[in-house]
Amino acid sequence: MVKKFKGSLIGAWAFLIGLVIAVTIGIFSTQMIGSVQEIVLWSLVLLGVIVGLFNVTQKESLGFLFTTLVLVIVSYFGREILMIIPTLGSILGALLVFLVPTLIIVSLKSVFEMAKN
């Protein structure tokens, strides 16, 4: 029980930190040097994987997959539409970098659980 609580806490913090980094990189992306921006984007991918592994239980996976998929679709199309406001487009792009790995991990976990049963 304690291990599950710690994993959930790690995933919750990773999710919050990922959102903050995504918004921050979206705001300052034009001012970042290429290598720094690449490191930050890879950290978003890693945080997305951590959230997918530790934050979503099997019971929560269907709701999480649905809402995250909607958010990814809206972020993708919103990024395309909002490119007239570069900062908003960059924030949505950074959210995609964070959420897509999370969505992939939770989807794979769900498929694996269905295959086991």
Q: State the residue range of the domain holding 88.
A: 2-116
What are the C-alpha distances in Å from 70 to residues 33, 34, 65, 84, 99?
Answer: 31, 30, 9, 22, 11
> Which of these, 5, 114, 17, lies nearest to 65 by C-alpha position?
114
Q: Kindly report, residue by residue over 46-98, the tens digit of the pLDDT.
A: 989 988 888 777 888 888 889 888 988 988 888 878 778 878 888 888 899 99
> What local confidence, expressed as pLDDT, does residue 103 receive?
92
CA separation for the pair 59, 7 (Å, rounded): 15
Q: Kindly report, residue by residue over 30-53, the tens digit of the pLDDT.
A: 777 777 778 888 988 998 998 888
Number of domains, the chain: 1
How many beta carbons lie within 10 A of that of residue 48, not counting itself?
24
What are the C-alpha distances in Å from 69 to residues 19, 39, 88?
Answer: 16, 25, 19
Q: Is the pTM of this model over 0.85?
A: no
